[in-house]
């Protein structure tokens, strides 16, 4: 059932399920939420009367598709809800056949309502007869009848791979599928499955109660399960004693692999099994080999558990974790609630390695002094530093900035921003295009673009930037061959810009006031380099500038 070499088509911004059909006349506008202002990047799918989709540019995008056949968990940590989140996190489309609805929370399972078999069959037919499914993943299959229905449908609608998570008992000890399904697993599903992923108890149940307590028992169990006719076996060791690493045993019939990761100390492990299996399915759907898929899935679970180790949801002993951590870029670790607040542009400090060298300051000392003096945003502009040193310096500056609730941006270097999880980047007109930076950085990061003209400001807005920097307002030596636009040029750009603006170029304590007084509401502050960093005491100079800006703003109001 499983082969290699599938084409890998992942939509970056737009997800269009293959063969999507809708009722006559329905128009569907699919846009990335961050760039829906951009008329150039809109993709329309117009559903024609004959049901065949067409796009305005006549190209369709196939995305990998996993169908999960599982139970709903009202607490949304495991089951269908975990599967949807795991697939979304891995960039894969996920359709769902719900086999049971459970009333469940972090305390345990309070009730189970099994969906009638014919209605499970109806859901399967709806999905499989219409959509192209790459991989089927199964979770809670509460009756032998449902196992049989699944078996029949997979014969009628073959898919590339079948991942079976033989869910039987929840971690809270509640039964989700009784021993009667064991026969169905053994006879119908195992011979068809590409991989089965039992935890210790489930492996033991499938092997008629053989005791599995140690890693060595897991190895033997993996071999015995393989003998039952399944191609690959992953015996999960989440339930091994807490003192041990999180060890899983993978057996492909030839080699036994001991897959080890550190055991994250957290109560938030509800749904690890469902997530692992869905992730395996997602990677297979994208074209990975089985061992690759298992390794990626294990790493994903470990990373998500680590990221979520301190979150608190529910009062019971086992909480859910956060699958979508990539979308949040440490939001809850940094304590930053708002992604970008234009008032952060008020006193914008831009570092300069030459000036720091001249005054014997390290980057992080200079940044610390600026932040303590009242800088409201910091940009690291390090033109002559090794990349490795830049990443290290950025990490330590990030800690300082986070402690003060000040965003940290990186000049030009999207790679460095990603490597240290900075809050964003500032790019110039000859750097990477802003829309490409946005695609790489995702919707959460801050992007600023240097603009000298209304046209550039318009382009920055279209590309999904958050603010623009405009200058040089005054002549400056910091940047060679930099055209001075003057206060008039600044005003023209501000009036044309739909984005907030920070003024830059030769601004210092003595001339900052007229800048703030140009009287355009979207001018939010000034960016400075030498005014604060070309001095012995960065703290004092920043304080002075802060006072001037505060006075000027009060006068304007």
The catalytic residues are: 236, 269, 271-274
Q: How many binding residues for ligand ATP (CB under 6 A)?
A: 23
Q: Which of 166, 273, 424, 471 binds Mg ion (CB under 5 A)?
A: 273
DSSP state of 521: T
Site map for ligand HMH, 49-78, x if CB under 6 A?
---------------------xx-x----x
Contacts of 111 (CB under 8 A, 6+ apart): 102, 103
Binder of ligand ATP out of 64, 145, 237, 464 (CB under 6 A): 237
User: Any contact of residue 168 with ligand HMH (CB under 6 A)?
Assistant: no
Where are the extended beta strands (E) located within 214-346?
A: 232-235, 246-251, 256-261
In whole angstroms, the minimum distance from the beta carbon of 446 to ligand ATP comes to 32
CB-CB neighbours of 218 under 10 Å: 25
109 touching ligand ATP, by CB under 6 A: no
**Binding letters toward ligand ATP, positions 275-314, x by CB under 6 A:** -x---------------------x--xx--x---------
How many residues of this chain interact with ligand HMH, rule: CB under 6 A? 15
Residue 309 burial (CB < 10 Å; 0-12/13-18/19+)? Answer: middle
* Pick from 61, 258, 94, 74: nearest CA to 163: 94
By the rule CB under 6 A, 200 interacts with ligand HMH = no
User: Considering beta carbons, is residue 272 or 450 the nearer one to ligand HMH?
Assistant: 272
Q: What is the DSSP letter of 341?
A: -
Which residue in the shown chain puts its C-beta closest to Mg ion? 273
Site membership for ligand HMH, residue 198 (CB under 6 A): no
Q: Which stretch binds ligand ATP (CB under 6 A): 182-190, 250-258, 270-278, 364-372?
A: 270-278
CA 19 to CA 11: how far, in whole Å? 15
Q: Which of residues 192-231 bind ligand ATP (CB under 6 A)?
A: 199
SS (H, E, C) 202-245: HHHHHCCCCCCCCHHHHHHHHHHHHHCCCCEEEECCCCCCCCCC
Of 32, 68, 96, 102, the residue at the interface with ligand HMH (CB under 6 A) is 102
Q: Is 140 in the site for ligand HMH (CB under 6 A)?
A: yes
Residue 218 or 406 having the CB closest to ligand ATP: 218
Find how far residue 77's CA is from the centre of its chain.
Answer: 17
State the distance between the two ends of the chain, measured CA to CA, in whole angstroms.
Answer: 70
In sequence order, the β-bridge partners of residue 162 are 136
DSSP string across 181-207: HHHHIIIIITTT-SEE---HHHHHHHT
Closer Cβ to Mg ion, 203 or 284, answer by number: 203
Contact call for residue 140 and ligand ATP (CB under 6 A): no
Q: Of the two residues 232 and 476, which places its CB atom closer to ligand ATP in the complex?
A: 232
Strands (E), 78-160: 93-104, 109-114, 135-138
Sheet holding 43-47, edge to edge: 27-30, 43-47, 53-55
Vertex 346 angle, CA 340 and 347, to 5°: 115
How near is the Cβ of 274 to ligand ATP at its closest, in Å?
5
Task: Please give the Cα distance from 396 to 66 (Å, whole number).
Answer: 41
Q: Smallest gap, in angstroms, from Cβ of residue 210 to Mg ion?
A: 18
Q: Which two tokens stand for residue 448?
A: 């600023």
Is residue 75 a contact point for Mg ion (CB under 5 A)?
Answer: no
- Distance, in Å, from the CA atom of 339 to the CA atom of 34, rounded to the nearest integer, reads 13
Nearer to ligand HMH, 274 or 528 (CB): 274
In the complex, what is the shortest distance from the CB of residue 319 to ligand HMH, in angstroms, rounded to a whole number?
Answer: 13
Q: Could you tell which of ligand HMH, ligand ATP, Mg ion, none binds residue 71, using a CB distance below 5 to 8 A set by kind?
A: ligand HMH
Applying CB under 6 A, among 45, 167, 515, 545 the residue interacting with ligand HMH is 167
Q: Smaller CB distance to Mg ion: residue 68 or 353?
A: 68
**Interface residues for ligand ATP in 156-195 (CB under 6 A)?**
171
* Residue 12 vs 244, nearer CB to ligand ATP: 244
| Biggest alpha carbon–alpha carbon distance for the chain | 84
A 10 A CB-CB count for 551 gives: 13
Give the nearer residue to Mg ion in terms of CB position, either 77 or 273: 273
Return residues touching ligand ATP (CB under 6 A). Answer: 78, 171, 199, 236-239, 246, 248, 261, 263-264, 269-274, 276, 298, 301-302, 305
Return residues touching ligand HMH (CB under 6 A). Answer: 70-71, 73, 78-79, 102, 104, 139-140, 167, 170, 176, 271, 273-274
């Amino acid at each position: 059932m499983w082969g290699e070499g599938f084409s890998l088509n992942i939509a970056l911004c737009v997800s269009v399920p293959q063969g999507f059909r809708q009722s006559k006349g329905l128009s569907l506008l699919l846009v990335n939420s961050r760039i829906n202002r951009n008329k150039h990047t809109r993709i329309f799918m117009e559903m024609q009367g004959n049901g065949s989709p067409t796009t305005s540019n006549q190209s369709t995008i196939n995305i990998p598709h996993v169908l999960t056949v599982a139970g709903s968990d009202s607490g949304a940590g495991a089951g269908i809800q975990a599967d949807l989140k795991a697939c979304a996190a891995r960039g894969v489309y996920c359709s769902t056949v719900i086999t049971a609805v459970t009333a469940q929370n972090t305390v345990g399972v309070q009730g189970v309502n099994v969906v009638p078999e014919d209605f499970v069959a109806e859901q399967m037919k709806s999905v499989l007869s219409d959509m192209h499914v790459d991989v089927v993943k199964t979770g809670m299959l509460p009756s032998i009848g449902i196992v049989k229905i699944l078996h029949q449908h997979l014969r009628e609608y073959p898919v590339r791979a079948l991942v079976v998570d033989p869910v039987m008992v929840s971690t809270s000890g509640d039964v989700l599928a009784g021993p009667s399904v064991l026969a169905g697993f053994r006879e119908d599903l195992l011979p068809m499955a590409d991989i089965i992923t039992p935890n210790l108890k489930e492996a033991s149940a499938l092997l008629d109660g053989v005791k599995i307590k140690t890693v060595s028992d897991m190895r033997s169990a993996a071999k015995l399960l393989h003998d039952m006719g399944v191609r690959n076996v992953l015996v999960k060791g989440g339930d091994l004693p807490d003192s041990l690493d999180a060890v899983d045993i993978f057996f492909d019939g030839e080699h036994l692999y001991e897959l080890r990761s550190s055991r994250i100390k957290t109560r938030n492990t509800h749904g690890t099994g469902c997530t692992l299996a869905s992730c395996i399915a997602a990677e297979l759907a994208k074209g990975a080999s089985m061992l690759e898929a298992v390794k990626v899935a294990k790493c994903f679970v470990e990373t998500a558990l680590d990221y979520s180790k301190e979150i608190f949801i529910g009062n019971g002993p086992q909480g859910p974790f956060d699958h979508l951590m990539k979308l949040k870029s440490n939001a809850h670790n940094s304590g930053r609630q708002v992604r970008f607040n234009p008032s952060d542009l008020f006193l914008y400090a831009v570092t300069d390695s030459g000036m720091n060298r001249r005054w014997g300051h390290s980057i992080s000392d200079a940044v610390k002094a600026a932040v303590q003096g009242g800088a409201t945003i910091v940009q690291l502009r390090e033109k002559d530093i090794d990349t490795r040193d830049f990443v290290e310096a950025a990490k330590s500056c990030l800690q300082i900035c986070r402690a003060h609730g000040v965003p940290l941006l990186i000049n030009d270097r999207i790679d460095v921003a990603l490597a240290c999880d900075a809050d964003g980047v500032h790019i110039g007109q000859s750097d990477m295009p802003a829309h490409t930076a946005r695609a790489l950085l995702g919707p959460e990061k801050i992007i600023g673009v240097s603009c000298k003209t209304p046209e550039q400001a318009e382009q920055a807005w279209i590309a999904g930037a958050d603010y623009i920097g405009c200058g040089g307002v005054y002549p400056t030596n910091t940047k060679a061959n930099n055209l001075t636009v003057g206060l008039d040029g600044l005003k023209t750009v501000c009036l044309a810009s739909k984005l907030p603006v920070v003024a830059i170029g030769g601004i210092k304590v003595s001339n900052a006031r007229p800048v703030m007084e140009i009287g355009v509401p979207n001018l939010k502050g000034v960016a400075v380099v030498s005014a604060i960093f070309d001095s012995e005491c960065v703290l004092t100079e920043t304080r002075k500038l802060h006072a001037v800006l505060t006075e000027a703003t009060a006068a304007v109001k």
